[in-house]
């Protein structure tokens, strides 16, 4: 190890731009960079109108990134948006979350999930699954010291050659209304 040490004067042409790593999106500049990397227009609702959910996090997931704590590795770059309700929501439990993933390849292996049903929204066929074995996300518990495990419902669909996955962690009420808001969200015209 000591022999591999190099002084700063010996190091040339080193890139510190995070090439290959996932990164959070903080502003429109980040979003434009993500759109260029992804190569497609994205759905990016800041809030789901009338649903009480707002965007809390947005991340560009890079294919093959080994520096994440995720229990899955996507085969292509993806956009991940997370939505939550206010802490005092009368509808949702503390820490219920909705995540929307967008990619040019499927992110989750439906064969490893338990099939629930098919539904159609705006002419788009959507398959619903559950992850009772917690393959993709470990068991998550409801807040306030309870031991109740949150449900994990996956809605998978393809729309205009883009694969989408809406994952509801808890948030058992109004899933279809929230899903419809995502399916009908417009593609963003950026840059």
Alpha-carbon gap, residue 54 to 31, rounded angstroms? 17
Pairing of strands 78-85, 47-48: unpaired
Tokens linked to 177: 């209304």
The pLDDT value recorded for residue 50 is 66
Segment 30-52, tens digit of pLDDT: 777 877 888 888 888 777 766 67
Could you tell me the residue ranges of all domains in the chain?
13-183
More confident residue, 137 or 16: 137
Q: Which residues are 94's β-sheet partners? A: none
Whether the Cβ atoms of residue 61 and residue 77 lie closer than 8 Å to each other: yes
Structure-model confidence comparison of residues 9 and 150, the more confident one = 150
Whose CA is closest to 18, among 72, 61, 73, 51? 61
**From CA 99, how far away is CA 156, in angstroms rounded?**
12
State how beta strands 114-121 and 97-103 pair: unpaired
Helix (H) and strand (E) counts in the chain? 2, 9
Q: Count CB atoms within 10 A of the CB of residue 159.
A: 18
Residue 183 is given by DSSP the state H
User: pLDDT for 113-147, tens place per residue?
Assistant: 999 999 999 999 999 999 888 888 777 777 666 67
Confidence band, pLDDT 50/70/90 cuts, at residue 17: very low
Across 9-13, 156-160, 170-174, least confident range: 9-13
- Residue 187 pairs in a beta bridge with 43
């Amino acid at each position: 190890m000591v022999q591999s040490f190099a002084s700063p004067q010996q190091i040339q042409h080193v890139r510190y731009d995070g090439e290959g790593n996932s990164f959070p999106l903080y502003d429109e500049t980040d979003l434009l960079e993500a759109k260029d990397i992804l190569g497609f227009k994205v759905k990016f609702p800041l809030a789901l109108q009338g649903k009480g959910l707002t965007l809390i996090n947005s991340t560009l997931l890079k294919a093959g990134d080994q520096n994440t704590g995720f229990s899955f590795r996507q085969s292509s770059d993806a956009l991940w948006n997370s939505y939550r309700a206010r802490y005092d929501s009368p509808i949702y439990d503390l820490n219920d979350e909705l995540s929307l993933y967008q990619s040019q390849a499927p992110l989750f292996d439906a064969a490893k999930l338990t099939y629930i049903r098919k539904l159609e929204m705006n002419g788009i066929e959507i398959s619903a699954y559950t992850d009772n074995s917690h393959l993709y996300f470990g068991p998550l518990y409801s807040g306030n010291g309870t031991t109740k495990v949150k449900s994990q419902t996956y809605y998978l669909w393809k729309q205009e050659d883009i694969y989408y996955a809406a994952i509801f962690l808890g948030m058992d009420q109004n899933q279809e209304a929230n899903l419809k808001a995502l399916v009908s969200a417009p593609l963003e015209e950026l840059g």
